[in-house]
Structure 1
């Protein structure tokens, strides 16, 4: 899971790299915690961020000792979906930042304030909001779009009887010049050259704990890449 939000952030992602250790004036020098930005796209899988994915990311970042700041674009949602019906609610309109604040428990800032100087890594949870409210495609595809030749995973490349319902996404990655790497839902793929880590998450129809474990593998590798 990884995405972007317009030209400014795309450019930032191209030049992003882990920051150095800060100097501490104390009797003993301690390593600084990794500073991670989590970018949300609303609240709810069909028109915003997939809530289970966001929660799993935050749990694993907390367990890894990371300092987390959440962001979301301060823009109207593409549309609002009634999640009980899976259909657009034509008469409703909502703000992406306001909806994302539900997940962040209010501790969230406008995406316009995100700068690479303040963070060692950025994570984009999945959900259709990453496609509808950010740019034009789901997270790993956008990584391939932003970073030429990036290696990412959305799981398997065949539907396998419905287990991988979005397997066709691998083709879109290849069309953009990216490399798709087949992975199981509990695994993550690390592109060490571009410093991109992806995991299938809800691209797979499976038990929730498997998705949670895959996200854990992703977060662990993200923190490892920061060197903190």
Structure 2
């Protein structure tokens, strides 16, 4: 059984992992026969009001928030060791651009959380596949851009232009499909980068990504 590590960035599309994407990824990986373990950085993060779309004054622990999606079965990201897993995956949600990195603020010049950067580099160096959904492919572009990896975030020209500044390549992709970089062992899908996407369309793209990831692993 292939062992896949999934890295979450919180809980909720405005300040963490997008829930539909995260659940779709977990379901699809299990459907593909994988053994899945969840991880998240144990850091403090700001919180958004998901009804008003406005920031709140309180802060929460990212690991504790991500545990809501993982049903409490989650570990701190600093415990993730590449030798224990066959592949790595990131669901989307704005947390990837705010918590796992500061892409939302700095784009192609962003800083990536040290443990996120570490695991991406270690899995890539070990020739183990990496999957990413929605905005999360920007993490791979920033960390692996010098490797000329190819990713997709859909058809958003501004984000695609920023990705290209990292040295990575961008390929347009519909919501219900995915892009494979076979040389780099990278698979990505746009998911809710399309604001009008339907949950079934998001799941179809993530389903394809998950099965490709497990097959490569």
The interval holding the TM-score normalised by the smaller chain is 0.7 to 0.9
The one-character-per-residue Cα deviations of 1:155-199 (angstroms, maximum 9, x if unpaired) are 12xxxxxxxxx4421111111111111111111111111111100
Q: Which residue of 2 aligns with 1:51?
A: 19
Pick one of 174, 178, 189 that aligns with 2:168. 178
The one-character-per-residue Cα deviations of 1:76-128 (angstroms, maximum 9, x if unpaired) are 01x100101100012x1100000000000000000000010011111011001
Q: Which residue of 2 aligns with 1:103?
A: 69
What CA distance in whole angstroms lies between the structure 2 residues aligned with 1:206 and 1:57? 16
What's the CA shift for 1:136? 2.1
Higher strand share: 2
Higher helix share: 2
What CA distance in whole angstroms lies between the structure 1 residues aligned with 2:3 and 2:83? 10
Tell me whether 1:141 sits opposite 2:132 in the alignment.
Answer: no
Q: Which residue of 1 aligns with 2:10?
A: 42
Q: How does 1:14-93 map to 2 (within 5 A)?
A: 33-77=1-45, 79-90=46-57, 92-93=58-59
Tell me whether 1:211 sits opposite 2:210 in the alignment.
Answer: no
**In the alignment, is the contact (CA less than 8 A) between 1:41 and 1:72 conserved in 2?**
yes
Q: Which residue of 2 aligns with 1:188?
A: 178
Q: How many residues align?
A: 183
Tell me whether 1:150 sits opposite 2:140 in the alignment.
Answer: no
The one-character-per-residue Cα deviations of 1:47-74 (angstroms, maximum 9, x if unpaired) are 1000000000011011111001100101
Using structure 2 for the length normalisation, give the TM-score: 0.82
What CA distance in whole angstroms lies between the structure 1 residues aligned with 2:99 and 2:197? 26
Moved over 6 A (4+): none
Unaligned runs of 5+ residues in structure 2 are 104-134
> Aligned with 1:88: secondary structure?
strand
Tell me whether 1:123 sits opposite 2:89 in the alignment.
Answer: yes
CA RMSD of aligned residues (A): 1.0
Structure with higher RCO (Cα < 8 A, 6+ apart): 1
> Aligned with 1:98: secondary structure?
helix
Using structure 1 for the length normalisation, give the TM-score: 0.78
